[in-house]
Structure 1
Amino acid sequence: MSTTSSPVPEPEGAPADTGAPGARLIHGESTTDIPVHRLFRDVAEPLSPPVAPTVVGRRLGTGEQPCVRPPARRVPAPDPELVERPARALPGSVGVLAGLGGLGGCGAVSWWAGALSPSAMRVLDLPVSAGTGVGPAQLAAYVGAGALTMLGFSGLMRGRTGYAWVLRVFGRYRGTARRTGLMWVNPLVVRHRVDVRLRHWRSEPIPTVDANGVALRVVVLVTWRVKDTARAVLGIDDHQTYLRECVESALARVVPQVPADASATKDVVSLRNVEAIGDALTRLVAADAEPAGLEVFAAQPTRIEYAPEVAERLQRRRIAALDAEHRDTVLSTVVDSVEDTVTRLTVRGLVELDDYERKALVKDLTVAFYTGRTADGG
């Protein structure tokens, strides 16, 4: 607490200071509360959601402006249930044998019921069946053999190098199969195929601006792969679209902080420093893509160009500057030639010129030389 006092003479008959707590020591004093715990805190309190800018109080009468703390950047925590784990898968031979066993069972039940034709029985070298037809027992056997056939063949799937299968049962994640070759899984699972190879993605020209507000178009080449298949497939809608949005967000945070061209100042980082810009983009994109199960190795700008309207304006300005430079060069050459010609004529005594005649001769020679050079394209 700060105290602002103004000395006021004590009136006669005023009670003396008794030293009691809370007694006013100076008459006419005014006090103002200052949030000391805010202004002089060394360690900031941890922010709790929802994160909002914190406005620190100011001291009245000092002209001090409120201090606004920007909210801390939060990275969403991944769902603990969406963590890649190996799925239960059996060798494909198990499913093949089960399917073949079901087909054999169907054939045996058909022979048992006497449903096979004589020609088929002769080809298969089977004895004559004494079956009287399809009854409840035969129907039950048919159902069992058919179910075994369907379970055996419908559970087969083929794993390839560089691809993985994300498995779900009734909406719940059951694991990821990264095995190669033929394998058998539960036929009731829903399968999602994921490309886990190292991949390159080249963006379209993304519009942005530099530190001076100049409109630019940037093309970024991203090297990435799917690291956690569960989060990449089930945690977000489309991980490729999410990666593109991460790249656009990183460009919006990096490019507006540096100028497009700062060659005159060596200490200032510009967009020509591709390595520094690429490192900053890689860190931001990797941090944003990690919660989605994506691993980003590099995000490098491959082409940085001005927007079409800015490029056209700069082109006109460059052409005008070149034309002005060419005209200045031609004019300097013409003036030197005229000066050399007049000097030779007067030094050698070929002509005697007064001021008026000299000016006229200089004018005529200048027009002649300049017209000749212009006609020759020089």
Structure 2
Amino acid sequence: MKEKNAWVINGFLGLLLMLAVDALGLVLLMNEYILLGIVLLVASAPLLSAITVVQPNQAMVVTFFGSYAGTIRKSGLWMTVPFSVRKKVSLRVRNFNSAKLKVNDIEGNPIEIAAVVVFRVIDSAKATFDVDNYEQFVEIQSETALRHVANKYPYDTFDSNGYSLRGNSEEVAAELSRELQERLSVAGVEVMEARLTHLAYSTEIASAMLQRQQATAIIAARSKIVEGAVGMVQLAIAQLQQEGVIELDEERKAAMINNLLVAIVSDRSANPVINTGSLY
């Protein structure tokens, strides 16, 4: 099915035409042209069934004895095909909030995910005739696409390689919108935006994954601290040797490096032990 324009004329003009036919029929009846007057009065009655009102941002799908006659998109009062059946289709922008779905990511971890889909109807004929109920179709296909996208990515990447649901929300939203548009084009629906509104590990593994994230963060922080500490120790030894403050042999240099690294890398304040000299 493809949307086309229905035959219409201005509704006020149609009402005037109907009143003119009725008036002419009454005049003929009064002038003893009974048969012709009755024919005109009977012919004007179907015109009343052709009057329809279209609201702003609304389409009126017109069918005539099972055949698609077209769609009225312009708002106002119109006269269309008599004895036709007309169905309203909203063209307004609407939201669909999916329920929280429990799915597995690409690594098999159970997660909870939900999304909001912003859409509108752009082809009233497809939305009416190609699917049974386009609103229900949008809901089911949105949840199906969300499950499929969630299965393609991990919840998080601990090595910072590749996309993840948590770290690449913009890319995931674009992928979800693209897949939704492919699924919903058959219903004449345009997907304007699709974004994740909820993302979390399932309760049965949430605590374990939290510990894993904390351990990863601690390891990353320790690596930065050690890297900085090594640089500081190298700078301190080089500066002492350059200024000739003290001459260090390899054993004392190793002891100094050990003490500096312990003092810098330790997660607690260092408590120095002061050597005041030997008793002998």
User: When the two structures are superposed, what TM-score results if normalisation uses the length of structure 2?
Assistant: 0.67
Aligned length: 212
Equivalent residue, structure 2, for 1:83 = 2
Equivalent residue, structure 1, for 2:56 = 161
Question: Cα–Cα, structure 1 residues 172 and 317, in superposed 2: closer, same or farther, change >3 Å?
Answer: closer
Q: 1:202 aligns with which of 78, 97, 100?
A: 97
- Largest Rg, 1 or 2: 1
Inter-partner Cα distance in structure 1 for 2:205 and 2:141: 31
Question: Cα–Cα, structure 1 residues 252 and 109, in superposed 2: closer, same or farther, change >3 Å?
Answer: same
1:142 Cα deviation from its structure 2 partner: 3.1
Equivalent residue, structure 2, for 1:101 = 20
1:261 Cα deviation from its structure 2 partner: 2.5
Higher helix share: 2
Q: Structure 2 stretches of 5 or more lacking a match? A: 215-280
1:150-299 equivalences under 5 Å are 150-262=45-157, 264-272=158-166, 273-299=168-194
Q: 1:314 aligns with which of 198, 201, 206?
A: 206
Contact residue 254 and residue 280 of structure 1 kept, 8 A: yes
Question: Cα–Cα, structure 1 residues 94 and 267, in superposed 2: closer, same or farther, change >3 Å?
Answer: same
Give the partner amino acid of 1:311: T
What SS does the aligned partner of 1:257 have?
coil
Inter-partner Cα distance in structure 2 for 1:93 and 1:299: 43
1:221 Cα deviation from its structure 2 partner: 1.0
Equivalent residue, structure 1, for 2:38 = 142
Give the partner amino acid of 2:50: G
Give the partner amino acid of 2:5: P
1:22-171 equivalences under 5 Å are 82-105=1-24, 107-108=26-27, 112=30, 138=34, 141-148=37-44, 150-171=45-66
Inter-partner Cα distance in structure 1 for 2:190 and 2:96: 13
Inter-partner Cα distance in structure 1 for 2:98 and 2:73: 29
Aligned alpha-carbon RMSD (Å): 2.7
Inter-partner Cα distance in structure 1 for 2:114 and 2:71: 34
Inter-partner Cα distance in structure 1 for 2:10 and 2:183: 38
Q: Structure 1 stretches of 5 or more lacking a match? A: 1-81, 114-130, 132-136, 323-378
1:139 Cα deviation from its structure 2 partner: 6.2
Inter-partner Cα distance in structure 1 for 2:210 and 2:198: 21
What SS does the aligned partner of 2:70 have?
strand
What SS does the aligned partner of 2:19 have?
helix
Percent identity, aligned pairs only, is 27
Deviations 1:71-106 (A, max 9, x none): xxxxxxxxxxx1111111111123211332344356
1:140 Cα deviation from its structure 2 partner: 5.8
Contact residue 218 and residue 303 of structure 1 kept, 8 A: yes
What SS does the aligned partner of 1:197 have?
coil
Contact residue 57 and residue 91 of structure 2 kept, 8 A: yes
Contact residue 115 and residue 146 of structure 2 kept, 8 A: no
1:223 Cα deviation from its structure 2 partner: 1.5
